[in-house]
C-alpha cells in the first residue's frame, strides 16, 4: 500500500519552472512537496543558452543544471524522489501518485515538461532499444564518440544538437524534409562553418534497416530512395507537452482549456507555451505568487506575502 502524504502544494517536475515555483513558495513559508526523479529537466539537452539574463557569455545546459541543483540544495526544498504515474482530482484536492507514495494536496503545480515526437517509421523502436537511435541529446552524446550521426530535423533543436555533438562525433548529417532550415539564423550560420557537419535538404525518412552494428536510414527525395548509412540517429522533429500523467478528467479539461481551480501548468507542459527557460521560470513564479495570494487571503492577510524579497 502506498504511503499517504499530505501537503498544501504538490509540485510535479524538477525543471526551471518547477524549481522557481518551489523556491518562491519556500521563501513564503508555504508547505510543499516537489515530486521528481531528478533536478534540472530537459534543459540539459541544450548546447548553449544565450538568451538568459545574468549569463553574458551564455551557459551550457549541463552547467546550468549544476547551478539549479546547487540552488535546490541551498533552498532546502522538500523533495519526494520518484516518477509520477498519475495526477487526479478528488473533490477539492489533488492526488499525485508514484509507485510508493500518494501525495494529497490543496494545490498542484504541473511542470512535467515535454516529450519528443517520434518519426513513426519501420524499425524505429528496435533501433531505439539497440541504442542506435535517440530522442534526447543528453543521452545520445554518451554514444557518439568517433561515430557518424544523423540528426533528423530542421529547427533550433536539431541545429543546437549538432553543435553540441560536433566535438565528439566523427561526422554529423542534418537530414531535413524542408529545403531551408527552420532554425534561427545564428544557429544556421554556426553549423555552416563546421567542417564535420553536413545539411541534407528535401529528404524524408522512410524506414530503418540494420547492417551489423550500423543502421541504414532509407530516405526519400523526389520519389527516389536514398540509403543513408550511419551509427546513430538522433530524432529532433519536435516536442509536445508531457500530459500522459493527467487523469482522463484533467486531460479533458486541459485539452478544452477549461479552468480547474488550484491547478497550475508551468513551463513546456503549458499549452501554447514557447519553449524558453525565461518563460518557464516566469510561469513558475506566477503560479507561486497566485498560490501565495490565495493562501494569505485565507489567513486574513489579503494577498500580502510573508516576505518582500
- Same domain for 91 and 178, yes or no, is no
1 pLDDT exceeds 60? no
Domain contains 248: yes
Q: Nearest Cα to 10, choosing from 37, 34, 39, 38?
A: 34
Asked whether residue 309 is assigned to any structural domain, the reply reads: no
Q: What is the pLDDT of residues 22-77, one digit of tens each?
A: 999 999 999 999 999 999 999 999 999 999 999 999 999 999 999 999 999 999 99
- 162 and 148 in a common domain: yes
Cα distance between residue 266 and residue 222, in whole Å: 42
Last residue of a domain, one of 180, 206, 235: 235
pLDDT digits (tens, 9 = 90+) for 160-200: 999 999 999 999 999 999 999 999 999 999 999 999 999 99
Of 214, 235, 256, the residue that ends a domain is 235
CATH number of the structural domain spanning residue 272: 3.50.50.60
The reply to whether 177 falls in a domain is yes
**Residue 227 belongs to domain spanning:** 118-235
Dump pLDDT digits (tens) for 219-270. 888 889 999 999 999 999 999 999 999 999 999 999 999 999 999 999 999 9
Task: Indicate whether 108 and 130 sit together in one domain.
Answer: no
Residues 133 and 196 in one domain: yes
What confidence score (pLDDT) does residue 308 get? 43
**Are 55 and 84 in the same domain?**
yes
- Report the pLDDT value the prediction gives residue 302, as an integer from 0 to 100: 52
How many domains does one find in the chain? 2
pLDDT mean over 95-119: 96
Query: Is 206 within a domain?
Result: yes
Per-residue CA distances from 166 to 5, 169, 278 (Å): 46, 6, 27
Task: Tell me, yes or no, whether 85 lies in a domain.
Answer: yes
* Cell matching residue 140: 545520445
pTM for this predicted structure: 0.90
Residues 225 and 272 in one domain: no
Amino acid at each position: 500500500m502506498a504511503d499517504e502524504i499530505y501537503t498544501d502544494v504538490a509540485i510535479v517536475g524538477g525543471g526551471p519552472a518547477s524549481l522557481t515555483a518551489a523556491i518562491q513558495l519556500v521563501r513564503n513559508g508555504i508547505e510543499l512537496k516537489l515530486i521528481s526523479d531528478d533536478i534540472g529537466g530537459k534543459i540539459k539537452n541544450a548546447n548553449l543558452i544565450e538568451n538568459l539574463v545574468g549569463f553574458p557569455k551564455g551557459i551550457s545546459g549541463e552547467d546550468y543544471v549544476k547551478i539549479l541543483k546547487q540552488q535546490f540544495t541551498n533552498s532546502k526544498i522538500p523533495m519526494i524522489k520518484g516518477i509520477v504515474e498519475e495526477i487526479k482530482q478528488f473533490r477539492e484536492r489533488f492526488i499525485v501518485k508514484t509507485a510508493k507514495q500518494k501525495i494529497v494536496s490543496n494545490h498542484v503545480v504541473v511542470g512535467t515538461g515535454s516529450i519528443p515526437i517520434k518519426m513513426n517509421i519501420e524499425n524505429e523502436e528496435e533501433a531505439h532499444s539497440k541504442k542506435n537511435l535517440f530522442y534526447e541529446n543528453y543521452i545520445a552524446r554518451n554514444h557518439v564518440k568517433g561515430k557518424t550521426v544523423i540528426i533528423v530535423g530542421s529547427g533550433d533543436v536539431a541545429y543546437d544538437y549538432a553543435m553540441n555533438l560536433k566535438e565528439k562525433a566523427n561526422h554529423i548529417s542534418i537530414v531535413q524534409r524542408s529545403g531551408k532550415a527552420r532554425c534561427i539564423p545564428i544557429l544556421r550560420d554556426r553549423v555552416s562553418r563546421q567542417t564535420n557537419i553536413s545539411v541534407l535538404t528535401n529528404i524524408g525518412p522512410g524506414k530503418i534497416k540494420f547492417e551489423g552494428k550500423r543502421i541504414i536510414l532509407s530516405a526519400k527525395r523526389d520519389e527516389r530512395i536514398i540509403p543513408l548509412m550511419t551509427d546513430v540517429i538522433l530524432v529532433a522533429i519536435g516536442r509536445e507537452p508531457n500530459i500522459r500523467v493527467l487523469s482522463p478528467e484533467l486531460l479533458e479539461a486541459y485539452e478544452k482549456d477549461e479552468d480547474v481551480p488550484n491547478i497550475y501548468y508551468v513551463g513546456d507542459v503549458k499549452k501554447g507555451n514557447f519553449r524558453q527557460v525565461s518563460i518557464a521560470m516566469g510561469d513558475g513564479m506566477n503560479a507561486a505568487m497566485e498560490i501565495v495570494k490565495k493562501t494569505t487571503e485565507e489567513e486574513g492577510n489579503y494577498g500580502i506575502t510573508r516576505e518582500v524579497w
